[in-house]
Amino acid sequence: MSRRVHDHGHAFTHFNGREREGLFFGSRRGMLKASLAGIGGLTLPNLLRQRAQAAETGRTSNRKSVILLWMAGGPSHIDTWDPKPDRPYANRGPFGVTQTKVPGVLLCEHLPKQAAMLDKFTVLRSVDPEKSNHEPNKVFQTGNREAAPRVNPKGEMYPSIGSIIAKHHGPNAPGMPPYVAFQKSRSHVAWAGWLGKQYDPFLADNAARLPVYTDVGVDTGRMAGGNMFQFAQGLSHDRMNERHGLMKQFDRLRSDLDRSGSMEALDTFSRQAIEMVIGRGAQEAFDITREPEANRARYGKHLWCQQALLARRLVEAGVSFVTLDLSYHSASGTWDTHGDNIPPYGGITRGLGPLLPLFDHLITTLVGDLDERNLLDDTLVIAMGEFGRTPNMGTQGSSDGRDHWPVVMSMCLAGGGMRHGQVIGASEKDGGRIKDRPVTPGDLAATIYRHMGVPLDTTYLDPRGRPRYIVEEGGQPIGELF
């Protein structure tokens, strides 16, 4: 008789619930293990582990949150937030400029909505991206220059800022994951590394029903996802509640069986399994159909805009850190505009050009919505990529592409109760180097941690047991923002 093998991992796998204990009969412990393992397939393991570990810190009352709009590939600073209109064409690029609400500050002509509400934003034009690269994208998502896997074999192990927040801040509401990511590629998002897999992001692509786009940004007309919270066939809320009740009857038995505390910890997992599978908080947050139709129309039907709306719903429901991977393809990223003759990247005109009005609508709609709901002071919105682009166009044989430029880049921030309506730092007249006020990855990390209430002297242990600071390289919060 063939044996059916179940090899799907879950939060209770290590209890070996299917293994028989005792020589000739099943013990009480074996019976208990079987009953506990029975709910394992319903627990959304990564999410529950994150919640359990974050809860140990006891720091879930702070409602602060972060939304990271990750422009995977590295947007051109000259063609977005740091235009050079007086320079020769090969340097300034094909786009014009627009005046902003902040006197004397110009943005690219394709960012008119952001220009009109720049009093709610801060533009950083002197960000130092030295050592930053992509595939994987780690330096700015960790705040550490050594998180560069292409040149450092241990680069993958530096924990992401989102993972640090998952551990030391936790979620803002029970039953919600602390760190959520919508990813197009694993190489576009930073992970927990030495901190432990329990602090990896909860990958949300299948938690909501979203439109499907091709790798060059064409809407296929199909929808996918939204099945993560569905019960297995034959299960219902009533049956899950029955199992929960049965587990309560084993409380005394669990206490007798294990004085070490592991059963008590497991009980925490079990309660949170009920919160996630039966509880409505996470399910409702990911159910975009519950959003009023007028607001859904306000964001628009585009995949990234729908994800931005979900990001707002998630922080409103209690998620602390949300990353949106703004890319159509899973290679280096859609913002990697090398040239029109290098598909699927495109150059500045045909590659970056169509992205900017979409991004302009997305970020201003998100910031406006957060503001109207009185969430903006608690929510820090960050938009950035890995690095800038070369000052002159025409790289790699293209007519208007720009290559990687880990020398200077721009980024923008909004919300977080910070001082906005300003530009921090400057690049040289051709946009090729930092002119003044360098901002490092460590400075950005320190700014985020200060916003989230995570002490800047917090450490974690590497495999050798050595403490490592979450903010290295002398990083300090960006003083102009506070």
120-156 residue pLDDT tens: 999 999 999 999 999 999 999 999 999 999 999 898 9
DSSP-derived secondary structure for 365-382? HHHHHHHHTT-TTTEEEE
Candidate ranges 16-20, 24-28, 209-213; pick with highest mean pLDDT: 209-213
Torsion angles phi and psi, residue 366, rounded to 5: -60, -50
pLDDT on residue 227: 76
266 pLDDT exceeds 50?
no
Lowest mean pLDDT among 21-30, 102-111, 236-245, 352-361: 21-30
**What is the rounded distance in angstroms from the CA atom of residue 93 to the CA atom of residue 349?**
9
Name the residue among 312, 423, 410, 325 with its Cα closest to residue 66.
312
Tell me the pLDDT tens digit for each residue of 276-316: 555 578 888 999 999 999 999 999 999 999 999 999 999 99
Closest CA relative to residue 47, chosen from 134, 136, 175: 175
Rounded Cα distance between 341 and 411, Å, is 27
For position 397, what pLDDT does the model report?
Answer: 85
Read off the pTM: 0.82
b/e sequence 160-169, b meaning 16+ C-beta within 10 Å? bbbbbbbbbb
Q: What is the Cα–Cα distance from 199 to 142, expressed in whole angstroms? A: 13
pLDDT score at 225: 86
pLDDT band at 31, cuts 50/70/90? Answer: very low
8 vs 135: CA distance, rounded Å: 28
Q: Best-predicted range by mean pLDDT among 172-176, 245-249, 342-346?
A: 172-176
- Beta-carbon contacts of 124 under 8 Å, excluding residues fewer than 6 positions away, are 410, 411, 412, 413, 423, 424, 425, 439, 478
State yes or no: pLDDT of 447 exceeds 80: yes
Whether omega for the bond prior to residue 354 falls within 30 degrees of 0, making it cis, is: no
Q: Report CA-CA distances (Å) from 219 to 211, 222, 380, 411.
A: 7, 8, 30, 28
pLDDT for 459 equals 95
Residue (of 213, 219, 199, 201) closest to 70 by Cα position: 201
Q: Tell me: pLDDT of 25 over 70.
A: no
Q: Which two tokens stand for residue 150?
A: 């292409």
**Per-residue confidence band for 226, with pLDDT thresholds at 50, 70 and 90:** confident
Fold of 36-481: Alkaline Phosphatase, subunit A (3.40.720)
* Residue that the structure tokens 């592991």 belong to: 262
Q: Output the pLDDT for position 9.
A: 38
For the cut 70, the answer to whether the pLDDT of residue 436 exceeds it is yes
Cα–Cα distance measured from residue 225 to residue 211, given in angstroms and rounded to the nearest whole number: 9
- Tell me whether the omega of the peptide bond preceding residue 344 falls within 30 degrees of 0, making it cis: yes
Checking if the pLDDT of 222 tops 80, the result is yes
What does each C-alpha distance from 427 to 80, 337, 354, 372, 476 come to in angstroms?
13, 20, 25, 34, 21
The per-residue pLDDT of the chain, averaged, comes to 83
